[in-house]
Structure 1
Amino acid sequence: MDARTLFLSPRVTATGRALADAARRRAMGVEVLREWRVPDEWRATEGATLYAGPLFADAVGAELGVGLLEAAPDWLARLPYELTHREIEFSTVAGARKLRRPAFVKPPNDKSFPARVYPDGSRLPGPDAVDDGTPVLVSDIVTFTVEYRLFLLDGDVRTGSRYLTDGELDAVPLDEDPRRPEVLAFAELHASQHLPSAVVVDVGLVEEGSEWAVVEANAAWASGHYACDPDAVLDVVLHAARPEGEFGSADRVFLRPLPEAVRD
């Protein structure tokens, strides 16, 4: 029996259900947290792991004693142009509000406001909704003809899925996609640079020029699996969200800062 216990948020998604099934096949424990807190009997559970959205992870992560890997917030902006095929700036909401041109604006590692194309900075949420200092990525607008989700462990693609074609949901396992060799070649040579050992990277073909480019990086413990193999996804999640003391020095710089646990 695997000593790990997979914790899920109250809103169990299709990916959460798939991971729960994969965990049970390994004789792991699976628990759904019904509230935005951890019951006393589950606090600092030995071998806890977590699959949840960023806000819920912030609420319960410290109480579970887990560490959560994620890419550095400015990672995408630091990639060379030949890997992104668009200009990307790491800024703040206050800085992005000064934009006087259309741009794609997103929070790097959470969902504090919608990630989308904004006609200009005045359309971003105001200070009453989002703090001025909230980090954002401001990107030139490009169109991806096809996009893929890849779960990486120690730089290797453990599983992948096509998920969008011409902007429409189109989930197909990477092994069944004719572009699989191109996707793997690009991802394994370039996409894992300066990332934690367990992470999700999205890549795609840019419409203009049909060049491969990195779309973004995501936390494995919060990413949908689309048509990825759930067992392989679970392997990556178990490395990305595990007891905080298990992380070595190379990964500790990628741990998400979690609010301190509040005890009654």
Structure 2
Amino acid sequence: MRGLAERGAALLGGLLRHAERVSGGDLSQILRVTLEDGRQAIVKTGSHPKIEAAMLRAIAASGAPAPSVLAVSDEVLALELLPGGEGLGGAWASLGHALATLHAASGARYGWPEDYAFGPVAIENGWSDDWPRFWAARRLLTHVAHLPAALARRVEALAAALPDRLPAQPRLALLHGDLWGGNIVAAGGRVSGFIDPACYYGDAEVDLAMLSLFDQPGAPFFDAYGPLEPGHEDRRPIYMLWPALVHLRLFGGAYRPMASACCRPAGSKS
């Protein structure tokens, strides 16, 4: 911990007074540092700090809340310390507005200028003009070689059916890419920032599906976010499958039932 804290302080052009761990950070080390001159910041490692910095700047440029990037190197990212620690309990409406703002930002093609990663799990972001093809090739089939055979066959079958299950060219939205409660900072009933992004341009429903995987957004969120496209309920499990596969690879077999459930045919309850 001390080594990361000192590298962060040096990156910020100061001397370290104090450092403490921040909760979370399954795939990276995260510290809150205080410098001798009184400045505070979040200092973290990550798969690709400079790419993460570019993603945070893109979120901020959209008008959505994000921490300011204070400094970045190939190994360390130093960020603005945001007010937080209160959870999403009273901030669902604020989150709806913030996410709608993020998704209003658009791009030219599906994907992102650079690939990314969740720890050892690669995230392929190569550009595409065909959304079902992007979701099949970049988000589903990349996992097949790492899955149990039966689940791999189900993922392959779903990927082949995506032209009939997903819109060919949904509106291009700037996605957070890893949207769950732990990556949303809130205080005083308002979202103060999106953190730990895995951004790319794609169907806005991807972030909504990810948010629903571990959290339960209700009417205040959806009223603030705005109306959803017809058929979004049928598409939600398809979009949930990618994070389920990522969790299966990162954290083990407890996530296999979740991944299998996401492969069910549209409308199936079995």
TM-score range, shorter chain: under 0.3
Q: TM-score, normalised to structure 1's length?
A: 0.27
Q: TM-score, normalised to structure 2's length?
A: 0.26
Which structure is higher in helix share? Answer: 2
Which structure is higher in strand share? Answer: 1
